[in-house]
Structure 1
Amino acid sequence: MIQYFKKYKSIYWGLAALLFVHCAAPKSSPEVSLKALPKTYINNTDSTNIAKINWKQYFTDPVLVSLIDTALVNNLDVLIAYQKINASRAQVKYAKGLSAPKVNAAVTVGGEKFGDHTMTGVGNFDTNLSQNITSDQKVPDGVVPEYYLGLQSSWEVDVWGKLRNKRKAATAHYLASVEGKNWVVTNLITEVATTYYELLALDSEIQIIDETIELQQDQLELVIVQKQAGRANELAVNQFQAQLLQSKILRLELSQKIVQSENHLNYLLGRYPQPIAIDTTSFTNDLPTQVQVGIPSQLLSNRPDIKKAELELKASKANVLSAKAAFYPAFSITATLGLNSFNSNYIFSPTSLAYNAFGGLVTPLINQSAIKAQFRTAKAEQVEAMYQYQKHILNGYVEVYNQMVYINNLSQIYDLKDQEVKVLTTSIETASELFLTGRATYLEVIVTRSATLQSKLQLIEIKKKQFTAVVNIYRALGGGWN
């Protein structure tokens, strides 16, 4: 064998050189410059960040905490996210397995009929004429049996890092799936809290409507008495009746909204519609006096969607390197070791021992369109991942910035609306007294009462928006998953 190689070594070296000449890979994709994050939010240099607070400490309402606990266990999106993690973990094990030698146990039984005018057929015929073999060593003239029992092994030596980078990409995808689950948890907590505060607001609005309906009913009865006494007319009675009916319609609309909000909350909790007991007194609780947002660079480590995008970027870079390595020669080793015979009586005989081992380099020379397309795809996906990473960072910063401004404006709006409610509430009493003495018309009473009702409902809506904004900025900063 060695002499044979020496005789034709120039041919072997020439073929090897040809392999390396044709395995030149194209250049990797250029890096996309990422925009730097601002150093502060509106000149805020304090690094204290509410995202570090556990959600059970951030939300103090025990009813809400219980609802979130149930959602984290039963929510279908969270359960799906966990299965994605399991699938990604399996892909990591699969990628690791590609780098290890493959060993298979094989048992084969078969037969083959050779043509009489072939090299194998003639060789078998000549062998049977030999005087040095016994009758049971002769090859059958018809179908030649084949028995094999042994091991078969193959191993691709990862010279260029193709398999190693596949393993890195799989690991990054797995870690990204974990961050994806964390982001699902963050959004779930936000949605449960938002829906809960919406229910509290609707319940508070129902209470105000009920109080209003009761007052309107009393006012209607008073106007009817005044009509009978000749101090009011039928038009006044009709106007008060219409206002009462409108309030009842509004109450029914709010009741429908409560049903829809309850069902949405039940959906988030992974269960079918059922009544939800809420603590309406918690809607009057004070909001946090100060929301501490820290500095923008903390978003990179706090927000799961940004960390997921970063890991997807790492995976795309590893995929590019793996695709690039496909242009280089693949070095593989194959070997077999077992028992091989055409006579079953000798299959377990030491003389049936058979083995081989081969090593070789293989690279595409002519048709490289498939691996070129795969490489271009990997490059495009890497650039896309870079832009996605930048997009998530920009979106996170904008969300925090918007919520900061919104919280500040809502505080001022609430104070002004609260003053308006107090003024209008006083005006109802004034209008009613003037109406009884004949110094105000029934229309003035109706308009004043209607304006007061709308103002009170708007005040509750602003309060709900304040709670929602506090929840949203917690999410925007990346809180809730830890």
Structure 2
Amino acid sequence: MMVKKIIYTGFFAALVAVSVTSCKTPGIAQREENKNVPASYANNSLDSTNTATIKWKDYFTDPNLAALIDVALKNNQELNITMQEIEISKNEIRARKGEYLPFVGLGAGAGVDKVARYTNIGAMEATTDIRPGKEMPEPLQDYRLGLQANWELDIWKKLRNSKKAAVNRYLASIEGRNFMVTNLIGEIASSYYELLALDNQLAIVQQNIGIQNNALEIVKLQKESARVTELAVQRFRAQVLNTQSLQYDIQQKIVETENRINFLVGRFPQHVERSTQAFTDLVPAAVQTGLPSQLLANRPDIRQAELDLMAAKLDVKVARARFYPSIGISAGIGYQAFNPSYIFKPQSLMYNFAGDLMAPLINRNAIKAEYYSANNKQVQAVYNYEKAILNSYIEVANQLSRVGNLEKSYGLKAQEVEALNQSVNISNDLFKSARADYMEVLMTQRDALESKFDLIETKLQQMEAMVAIYRSLGGGWN
């Protein structure tokens, strides 16, 4: 009895020593995320009304643009690839959930065994009777059928935290999909407005070709009456040819922009239906930025970074739990016999039950490395989260300033176009009455054409700013 007591005491002491030693984890520096943002944007407005809450169909009211976005949300290849990544993340949850549930399997087997006679096992089988007068069969057959179960007790929540981390990554993949939707809608809208701008530029060029052809005919008539030389005729003709070549450059850009849209909506090149409204008549939608703190809830990329951070924190807990002892339970029940006719007899019943405790004691470098890496990734996730917040605020601030400055710029550009249109008429009249040189007419026509192009470009930038600030605020995915 005294010997057994000493043995049990020694085993218990060793068990405690293993547990205490294994529970020691290396200390590392932790870093908490900073969620603080300024109270308002540069306009100092504290109004919480936010354009990001508007549905994209209510924000982009052009029916042709809405139809393109609808098709893209179904057919875009990148979006469909992301949807499969979400399914992969969902399967990861199933895998992690299964790890902390018992593993139960049904097994069956058959075999035959012939041992040498002059061995301890052979000698025992030769002198063993199954029942009086009936020896053990030789060779010995073996048939087995039963259930086997294994279960790791998740006392340190290692497996449950691993499952929670998988859930957060699944949710993060959904937010990644939402962010892609926001960017996809923005890219289609920007390309659509670019297409409208190119249409209007082409119309202006064709209109100018007609004006310049009329001017060329007038110069030819003046040359016949010796009021101008052949030099003036050739300069006017060169101007017409230059403008005619410009229309083909614009037509090529139209084809490329149409095909960019076709790619985004997942279809082969075809004509893109669009509005015929004068591009300069478009009015950007009014935008209300709300409060910077709303970005944390509205921006999918911020929420994705936050969920990745939550998963990284859980990974640290999982890595820490690997230093602790793990407890496993295994059990089995079934039938085993050397003859199939005996296998379901009560005497053929077999079962087993065992428990084990295992803790890392010596050479824990791999566990330490995994733990350090998990902590480094958690700190990295903190920086990514803070970066997403800072980036979103700066994007909104930039676009907000851009909207205001473009509005002022467009007003001045419109006045410039009006002034140059009048200059063209004046220069033509002066040229007809020989009070202006033909170079003045050519330069005025060129300046007028460039100013109209600049006006359309500024309008395009206005529409793109309207799209960009909607995306920056986190609109479009809901």
Give the match for residue 450 of structure 1.
Answer: 446
User: Does the 8 Å CA contact 2:143/2:340 hold for their aligned counterparts?
Assistant: yes
Equivalent in the alignment of 1:57: 58
The aligned residue for residue 157 of structure 1 is: 153
Give aligned-pair identity as a percent.
44
Unaligned 5+ segments in structure 2 are none
> Which residue number corresponds to residue 192 of structure 1?
188
Cα shift at 1:290: 3.5
Summarize deviations over 1:336-372 as a string: whole Å, max 9, x none.
1111123333222211111001011112222212211
Please give the secondary structure, in 2, of the residue aligned with 1:147: strand
1:308 equivalent among 298, 304, 310 = 304
Separation of aligned partners in 2, 1:93 and 1:447: 72
Tell me which residue corresponds to 2:48.
Answer: 47
The yes-or-no answer on 1:354 pairing with 2:318 is no
Q: For residues 420-459 of structure 1, what are the structure 2 equivalents within 5 Å?
A: 420-459=416-455
The 3 A distance-change label for structure 1 pair 282 and 314 is farther
Describe the shift of the 1:378–1:5 C-alpha distance in structure 2 as closer, same or farther (beyond 3 A).
farther
- Kindly state the Cα deviation for residue 29 of structure 1 after the two structures are TM-superposed: 4.5
In the alignment, which residue of structure 1 is the partner of 2:407?
A: 411
Q: TM-score, normalized by length of structure 1?
A: 0.95
- What SS does the aligned partner of 1:63 have? helix
| Counterpart-to-counterpart distance in 2, 1:425 and 1:454 | 11
Q: Give the aligned partner of residue 13 of structure 1.
A: 12
2:253 aligned partner, one-letter code: K
Unaligned runs of 5+ in 1: none
Residue 275 of structure 1, aligned match among 267, 271, 276: 271
The match for 2:124 among 113, 117, 126 is 126
Letter in 2 for 1:13: F
Deviates more, 1:441-450 or 1:79-88: 79-88
Alignment of 1:79-478 (within 5 A): 79-114=80-115, 121-130=119-128, 133-134=131-132, 136=134, 138=136, 140=138, 144-281=140-277, 283-288=279-284, 290-478=286-474
CA distance in 1, matches of 2:134, 2:25: 57
Q: Is the 8 A contact 1:25 1:325 kept in 2?
A: no
Displacement of 1:80 = 1.2
Q: Contact 1:49–1:292 at 8 Å: present in 2 too?
A: yes
| CA displacement, residues 373-410 of structure 1 (integer Å, 9 cap, x when unaligned) | 11111111101100000000000000000000000000
1:282 Cα deviation from its structure 2 partner: 6.3
Secondary structure of 1:22's counterpart equals helix
Deviations 1:114-143 (A, max 9, x none): 5667xxx41452243146734655153xx5
Pairwise CA distance, 1:109? 1.4
CA contact (8 A) 2:129 2:136 kept: no
- How many angstroms apart in 2 are the aligned matches of 1:262 and 1:288? 22
CA RMSD of aligned residues (A): 1.9
For residue 270 of structure 2, give the secondary structure of its aligned residue in structure 1.
Answer: coil
Structure 1's 132 and 111: CA in aligned 2 closer, same or farther, altered over 3 A? Answer: closer
* C-alpha distance in 1 between matches for 2:305 and 2:442: 57
Give TM-score scaled by structure 2 length: 0.96
Q: 2: distance between equivalents of 1:4 and 1:341?
A: 39
- Note the alpha carbon deviations across 1:183-215, whole angstroms, 9 max, x for none: 010000000000000000000000000000011
| Structure 2 residue 68 is the aligned partner of structure 1 residue 72 | no
- Larger mean CA deviation between 88-97 and 440-449 belongs to 88-97
Q: Secondary structure at the match of 1:11?
A: helix
Q: In 2 relative to 1, CA 29–99 (structure 1 residues): closer, same or farther, beyond 3 Å?
A: farther
How big is the shift at 1:288?
4.3
What SS does the aligned partner of 1:8 have?
helix
2: CA distance, partners of 1:360 / 1:29: 34
CA shift, 1:7, in A, is 7.0
User: How many pairs are equivalent?
Assistant: 476
